[in-house]
Structure 1
Amino acid sequence: MTAQTSRTALVTGVAGQDGIYLARLLVDLGYRVVGTIRPDASGVRRAYLDGVETVELEQRDRAGFGALLESVRPDEVYNLAGFTSVGASWRHAETVAETNGLAVVRMLEELVAYAERHGEAPRFFQPSSSEMFGVSDQQPQTEGTPHHPRSPYAATKSFAHHLTVNYRESYGLFTATGTLYNHESPLRGSQFVTRKITRSVAEIALGRRDELTLGNLDVRRDWGFAADYARAMHLMLQLDDPQDFIIATGASRQLAEVLEVAFAAVGIDDASRYVRQDPSLMRPADVVDLYGDPTKAREQLGWAPTLGFEQIIEHMVHTDVERLRSGVEETPAYLFPA
């Protein structure tokens, strides 16, 4: 990519997986990048945030967000902060509604107020989730597939998605949504099943644990690479007119396949010897299969994944092995395959 003219981007949740990949992309493109982190955040991944200005902001703080808009005057806003765990959303339904739903209302209201003061608001990206589709009769899902959310997390993402579209249509804001299917990397949090698998496999390979306990192995998801999805976010805000896109690979793989690839990456052919299923880890309502149709993104954004399923999982396993061997948990060298 060629460098942009001087532009400013505000990235909420900049210390998360997606925030890091996006911020580094934007810095490489010549942007000034300002990113928000939680006031109570511990162990912020500073190793990945070279060239990024960080500001403490609680996601639900409307006045704080409005003040930040005025002080930063961004050209683009990427809202990547929020509650990200589907499973944990059942235990924290009120928090996820506040963080993923009402917080977005407040941000959109502040963008409207900003436009009234300055004549134009920054372009705004809202990440939607494939979990919104829930129990869908349509495979693969497209931009027009109805939502049937099956968790508090999914319901709040659907709410925010429709709000973002409505504020675009009602107030003329440049707001775009990207419905992101599962996207992984070595920066995935340990609470997510893919990272739980790759870290555990690395520990098993190094003789530091004996088994891995999981819930439903039959679920299928469309798994991509987080850096590819960050690139799609940026492309959406470069269009002449705001639109909504599905960002996916177009293929689903069973969770059991993640296990097979992960164990094979450390030379173990039979994963079943190390895996135990625990019914208590099953969700109250699970979605069996989701995969998206990325045709619109391919045709209108020129976007396509650069890493395949096997490459992603192998990269995550090899990185976790290196973390355990070296004792270095975070370094930019882990972001992409060697």
Structure 2
Amino acid sequence: MTAATPGKTALITGITGQDGSYLTELLLAKGYTVHGIVRHASSLIANTSRLDAVYQDPHESERRLFLHKGDVTDAGMLVNLIRDVRPDEIYNLAAQSHVRVSFDLPEYTANVTALGAIRLLEAVRASGIDTRIYQASTSEMFGTAPPPQDETTPFHPRSPYGVAKVYAHWATVNYRESYGMFAVSGISFNHESPRRGETFVTRKITRAVARIEAGLEKKVFLGNMDAVRDWGYAPEYVEAMWLMLQHDEPVDYVIATGRPATVRDFAEAAFGHAGLDWRDHIEHDERYERPAEVPELIGNPAKIAREIGWRARVHWDELARIMVDADRKAL
């Protein structure tokens, strides 16, 4: 993998999320100083729990991780922070990223996920800082487009979240073409880890396995078991994000494993790892169905493998085992 130049500075929005925390660890290991934006909340500790492994406060001269209260809905804050920090790289990972929730909160999703991206792009333009920008795009933009989906596949989003991400994606393209910015979008397919939020289906399954095995519950309720997804491992996906900003040219890439599985497949692997039969413990609940379903998302990662050498190493079945073991340990 390409080595980083010591002394670089990065700014991460969404730093307290799954991807933000793994990206922070990666960049700190490469010698970066990392700044992150954290939304104001009554409990800062709860918001930064995914960063517990790296957020320490030794002698100030040695400290390379700084958290700033702010929000991508505040354009003025973004301009001021970018001018102060003068980052070499910006990773926009902030979003309301739960697809089912986006149907209940469409306006909020648009404000954070769509307009947040253009506020950030405009803040970079207004600040006059020469920086490289990574925009977190998503396979949900493809919606009903037939798989396998790649960089040339037309978008057909099927949720307010997907629609918002299409806006952010094309805004990034527009600022790159209009202002000559090094701004790229990584179209990431589903990627999971033990740090995945507990309301997302993979983590919901693996957490249920650990709790059922421990005798703490008997059932878990899920929606569409036939949905096909391309699940990868989040720590590997943040490597792809970093590599994209080290590339000579600003290019958008699909980030995926290329190996599909249904929700049922994932559940079978997760429960089977604990010696359990998923059919004894999963019940359908229509409340978890989406108003508009996305049947199949399967990425074609050939371009990113060919041009910058990134390939997924962990696939969905091993991922299920990793997450089950982590949730067992958490109990």
Question: Normalized against structure 1, the TM-score is what?
Answer: 0.92
Give me the CA root mean square deviation: 1.1
Contact preservation (8 Å) 1:3, 1:28: no
Q: Which whole-Å CA distance do the structure 2 matches of 1:81 and 1:281 have between them?
A: 24
Bigger shift: residues 165-174 or 42-51: 42-51
The question of 1:278 aligning with 2:278 is answered no
Q: Which whole-Å CA distance do the structure 1 matches of 2:53 and 2:317 have between them?
A: 25
Percentage of matched positions with identical amino acids? 43
Q: Which whole-Å CA distance do the structure 1 matches of 2:134 and 2:238 have between them?
A: 11
Q: Which amino acid counterpart does residue 279 of structure 1 have in structure 2?
A: E
Report the alpha carbon displacement of residue 172 of structure 1 after superposing the two structures with TM. 0.3
The question of 1:48 aligning with 2:53 is answered yes
Report the alpha carbon displacement of residue 150 of structure 1 after superposing the two structures with TM. 0.3
Report the alpha carbon displacement of residue 48 of structure 1 after superposing the two structures with TM. 3.0
Q: Which whole-Å CA distance do the structure 2 matches of 1:241 and 1:214 have between them?
A: 43
Q: Which amino acid counterpart does residue 162 of structure 2 have in structure 1?
A: A
The question of 1:121 aligning with 2:126 is answered no
**Which residue of 2 is the match for residue 22 of structure 1?**
23
**Which residue of 2 is the match for residue 70 of structure 1?**
83
2:96 to 79, 83, 97: 83
Q: Which amino acid counterpart does residue 35 of structure 1 have in structure 2?
A: G
- Structure 2 segments unaligned to the other structure (5+ residues): 56-63
Give aligned pairs, total: 318
**Which residue of 2 is the match for residue 336 of structure 1?**
none
Q: Which amino acid counterpart does residue 221 of structure 1 have in structure 2?
A: R
The question of 1:156 aligning with 2:157 is answered no
The 5 A counterparts of 1:211-250 are 211-250=219-258
Q: Which whole-Å CA distance do the structure 2 matches of 1:167 and 1:49 have between them?
A: 33
**Which residue of 1 is the match for residue 306 of structure 2?**
299
User: Secondary structure at the residue paired with 1:237?
Assistant: helix
Q: Which whole-Å CA distance do the structure 2 matches of 1:68 and 1:275 have between them?
A: 47
Q: Which whole-Å CA distance do the structure 2 matches of 1:49 and 1:14 have between them?
A: 12
Q: Which whole-Å CA distance do the structure 1 matches of 2:264 and 2:68 have between them?
A: 40
Cα gap change, 1:264/1:189 in structure 2, threshold over 3 Å: closer, same or farther?
same
**Which residue of 2 is the match for residue 39 of structure 1?**
40
The 5 A counterparts of 1:3-14 are 3-14=4-15
Report the alpha carbon displacement of residue 41 of structure 1 after superposing the two structures with TM. 6.4
Q: Which whole-Å CA distance do the structure 2 matches of 1:87 and 1:106 have between them?
A: 25
The question of 1:130 aligning with 2:139 is answered yes
Question: Normalized against structure 2, the TM-score is what?
Answer: 0.94
Report the alpha carbon displacement of residue 313 of structure 1 after superposing the two structures with TM. 0.9
User: Secondary structure at the residue paired with 1:230?
Assistant: helix
2:215 to 207, 211, 223: 207
CA offsets, 1:124-160, max 9 Å, x none?
00010100000113x2111011100000000000010
2:193 to 153, 163, 185: 185
CA offsets, 1:277-334, max 9 Å, x none?
112321100101011110111011110112122211111111101111xxxxxxxxxx
Bigger shift: residues 303-312 or 57-66: 303-312
Q: Which amino acid counterpart does residue 315 of structure 1 have in structure 2?
A: I
Q: Which whole-Å CA distance do the structure 2 matches of 1:219 and 1:26 have between them?
A: 34
User: Secondary structure at the residue paired with 1:6?
Assistant: coil
Cα gap change, 1:41/1:256 in structure 2, threshold over 3 Å: closer, same or farther?
farther
CA offsets, 1:226-276, max 9 Å, x none?
0111000000000111010000001210000111111111111x2101111
Contact preservation (8 Å) 2:259, 2:315: no
User: Secondary structure at the residue paired with 1:127?
Assistant: strand
Cα gap change, 1:294/1:39 in structure 2, threshold over 3 Å: closer, same or farther?
same
Q: Which whole-Å CA distance do the structure 2 matches of 1:142 and 1:17 have between them?
A: 24
Contact preservation (8 Å) 1:213, 1:275: yes
- Structure 1 segments unaligned to the other structure (5+ residues): 325-338
